Structure formats: C-alpha cells, structure tokens
Amino acid sequence: MSRSRDTADQINIIDSSAADATAITIDSSENVGIGTTSPTDYDGEADNLVVASSGHTGITIASTGSNQRTNLYFSDGTTGSDAYRGGFSYDHNDDHLLVRTAAAERMRIDSSGRVTKPSQPAFGAINNTGAQTNLAINAYHTVVFGGEFFDQGSDFASNTFSTPVTGKYQFNVQIRLYQVDTAASYYQVLITTSNGSYEVGLNSPNFTTDPDYITFTGSFLVDMDAADTAYVQIYQAGGSAQTDLQQSTSTFSGYLVA
C-alpha cells in the first residue's frame, strides 16, 4: 500500500509495505526520482529526470539549460566517472548523438550523419628509422617501421600490429626497394599474420640492367582473432645481397572494419 507525503518542497510516494521506503519523489524542480529522495542528473544537468535507486541507471525525459541534452544512461554510482558509465546522450545545441561505455565516449554521430569512433583500433606506421640495406638473399626480412603517423588504441609496437579483439581488419602496405638486382629470380612482399600470409606483390626483375627501384603496394581484408599479429616481410630469391629498403617511403597501416 502506498501513501504520499509533502516535505521540503517535494512530494514523496511511500511504500508502506517496505518500511516506509520512498518509491517516487517529485521535487520542486519537477525532477522525478524512482527509489530515491534526491533525483539527480549524473551528467550535470537536471530537469524532468527519472532515476533508479543507488544511481545505477537513469533517463532524462527532457532537459533545459546551456547543454540541452537528452540522456539514457547507466551508472555504477552517484559521483565521478561512475556516475555515467555508459549510455546515450543527444545534444540539442549541435544535434550530435554520443554513445559511451566505461565512462568514455566511444562513438559520435554529428548532425550530418558523420560517424567518428575514437576508440576504434587503427594505426599508420612508416619506415623512417634504421636503414635496412644489402638484404641477405633467400631469407625473410621483417620490415622495420620505426615511426608512427598514429596509433589509435596503442596496438602497434616493434613493427607488429596486435589485434585487441576478434574481427575483420583492413591492412594496407607500400614497400619501395632500391638497388634492385636483375639477377634475382624474384622479389616478394608479404603481410604475415597469425592465420597465414598475404602476398602484396611478386616481381621477377628480368631487365637488361639493374632498376633503380621497384614499389609494391597491396590491401587486404583479413579475418583475425584477438591477440593475433600482423607484420610485413620481404624475400629475395637468388641474385646478390645488394638491395636496400628505402626509408620514409615504405608504410604499413590498418584498422578494424567489423
């Protein structure tokens, strides 16, 4: 059985069967609380808010003020980062939708429908430190990528990308070789992963003289498991150990597609 009580400029609906526990509160600002006497918007705004007890979840039905947001959120507490662990927030000022998990923004859709995902694994690396010259023949050489354009998620290190989650990954490679030996049977560039290798290019340099350089480029959509790895290798079959990997022109990039 329930009854109402008017105290401190608010109305409380009491559940008398549960030791007079407050079931619903309507305060002087027209905030509505379920299971709490102090309905509070954990995202810093307040107006027409519905929350559950202990601050574990909430819905902003409508909001006013400078931010003008509408929220559906899930929390583990009432203060700090725990106050908004996950959920959705629509900002009426610039018409963008935010999705949060673990108290951090994971996706934003702006007013034009453009989607950004700041936690999506993505990297871009370049061979710009430590020359690799006179590569030995009949041997696989891992390409050294000493520099990074970006590494969103910090999953690239020691020339290798390690997958944080299972999924489909797009990889892109450009490799430029100098001092190419026309006597070599072939040059091969590979993306080597835990699940197998993908041939970026195969070239048999059957020229009248040694070419100044050759370039290999390729892209692959690869199925990867969590904690799998991917890196780039070069192989020269036969000829002389005279070929160099040109610095600052060889790149390796990738990102999680799905």
The reported pLDDT for the residue numbered 228 is 98
Q: Where are the beta strands (DSSP E) in 102-243?
A: 104-109, 115-116, 122-126, 140-142, 147-152, 156-157, 160-162, 167-178, 186-193, 196-203, 213-224, 229-237
Q: Does 21 or 63 have the greater pLDDT score?
A: 21
The reported pLDDT for the residue numbered 103 is 83
The tens digit of pLDDT for each residue in 13-42 reads: 766 665 556 678 887 777 777 766 776 655
Phi/psi of residue 16, nearest 5 degrees: -70, -15
Are residues 200 and 171 in contact, defined by beta-carbon separation less than 8 angstroms?
no
Q: Does 44 or 193 have the greater pLDDT score?
A: 193
Annotated domain spans of the chain: 2-116, 122-256
The reported pLDDT for the residue numbered 37 is 72
CATH 2.60.120.40 fits domain 122-256: yes
Q: With cut-offs at 50, 70 and 90, classify the pLDDT of residue 116.
A: very high
* 3-class secondary structure, 84: helix
The tens digit of pLDDT for each residue in 220-243 reads: 999 999 999 999 999 999 999 999
Are residues 173 and 217 in contact, defined by beta-carbon separation less than 8 angstroms?
yes
Work out the mean pLDDT of the chain and round it to a whole number. Answer: 85
Are residues 237 and 188 in contact, defined by beta-carbon separation less than 8 angstroms?
yes
Q: Is the pLDDT of residue 154 over 90?
A: yes
Q: Is the pLDDT of residue 6 over 70?
A: no
Phi/psi of residue 55, nearest 5 degrees: 70, 35
Q: Does 36 or 106 have the greater pLDDT score?
A: 106
The reported pLDDT for the residue numbered 31 is 73
pTM of the shown model: 0.79
